[in-house]
Amino acid sequence: MKKAVFFDIDGTLIDCLNGLTDITHRVKQAIRLLQTNGYYAFIATGRPYAFLSESLLDFGFDGFILTNGAQVKIKDNLIYKEPLDKDFIKKIANNFEELNIQYMLQGEIYSYMKENCKEFYSFYDSFSISRKYLKINYDIENVDTYKIEMLCKDKKGIDYCLSLGNDNDNYDYIHNVKENSFELYSKINTKATGILKALAYLNISIENSYAFGDGKNDIEMLSTVGCGIAMGNASDEVKNYAKKVTDTVHNDGIALGIKDYILST
């Protein structure tokens, strides 16, 4: 019987801000054991391809749900993609520049950010994001954008970024209040919709799917799969949507969850 397990990255597989920049040996072994037992192992992330580390790309995951479900990749096949409306992108990019908002357009392989976005480059450096797939010179007409991230310097910029999600039925956002940064993405696509597309492609039932996550953008996938497993470091709100709760990312929560809630069933 085919089964699939989906893993969030930040706060679940790794925790870059708190020094855990690679999957621990114990968690790697547990995921390998899943695959040995015939399970598919997927990444399900808000990150674009450009933000995936070489270790994640080289690990041997069976596929990737990227940019909050706007792209679904199984092995080498991109089975689904839906970029944001290009006219909308061009319009808000002009407004970003007028309001001195630094921004990144996240594409299929490369992501695009102008050279003058110094503070935003430093922000990504703090998350150990490689610049290998970041381009500073591009023509917006030739870029397909699946998600946008923004960094604001003042209240005027923050208010504008908030308006993009609050005043538009097609888009939603995440606001990092501490950093004054935003992620803007389509409401149509989520990690959960991406997971459903992957399951349909592989002919796997919902009942035979699992997911690990810790953040608010994991809530929908945790409540959609057959068994959603929240990390111990997740908030109580996120845990309320999960069927099971495991230990924290720093205590190999995934390895314990795989042992207790997947391979033991």
- Per-domain residue ranges of the chain: 3-81+189-262, 86-186
Average pLDDT over residues 74-80: 95
Quick check: helix, strand or coil at residue 262?
Answer: helix
Model confidence at 129: pLDDT above 90? no
Give the model's confidence band at 100: pLDDT under 50 very low, under 70 low, under 90 confident, else very high: very high
Q: Percentage of residues in the chain with pLDDT exceeding 70?
A: 100
Q: Span 10-32, mean pLDDT?
A: 94
The stretch 109-137 carries a mean pLDDT of 93
> What pLDDT, on the 0 to 100 scale, is given for residue 261?
96
What is the pLDDT averaged over residues 28-56?
Answer: 96
Residue-level pLDDT at 229: 98
Q: How far is CA 151 from CA 72, 157, 211, in A?
A: 27, 9, 30
The architecture of the domain spanning 86-186 is 2-Layer Sandwich (3.30)
Q: What is the mean pLDDT of residues 228-250?
A: 98
Are 182 and 176 a contacting pair, CB within 8 Å? Answer: yes
27, 32, 58, 147, 173 from 167: Cα distances, Å: 42, 45, 41, 18, 11
| pLDDT, mean of residues 60-75 | 97
Class of the CATH domain delimited by 3-81+189-262: alpha beta
CA dist 23 → 222, 232, 261 (Å): 21, 16, 20
Is residue 45 scored above 80 in pLDDT?
Answer: yes
Give the pLDDT band of residue 128 (cuts 50, 70, 90): confident
Element housing 176 (H / E): strand 171-176
3-state secondary structure of 239: helix
Find the mean pLDDT for residues 215-240. Answer: 96
- Please indicate whether the domains covering 3-81+189-262 and 86-186 agree at the CATH topology level: no
Q: Is the pLDDT of residue 1 over 80?
A: no
pLDDT, one tens digit per residue, over 152-194 is 999 999 999 999 988 788 999 999 998 899 999 999 999 999 9
**pLDDT for res 126:** 83
The stretch 212-237 carries a mean pLDDT of 96
Mean pLDDT over 43-48 rounds to 96
Q: Rounded to two decimals, what is the model's pTM?
A: 0.94
Q: Does position 115 have pLDDT exceeding 90, yes or no?
A: yes
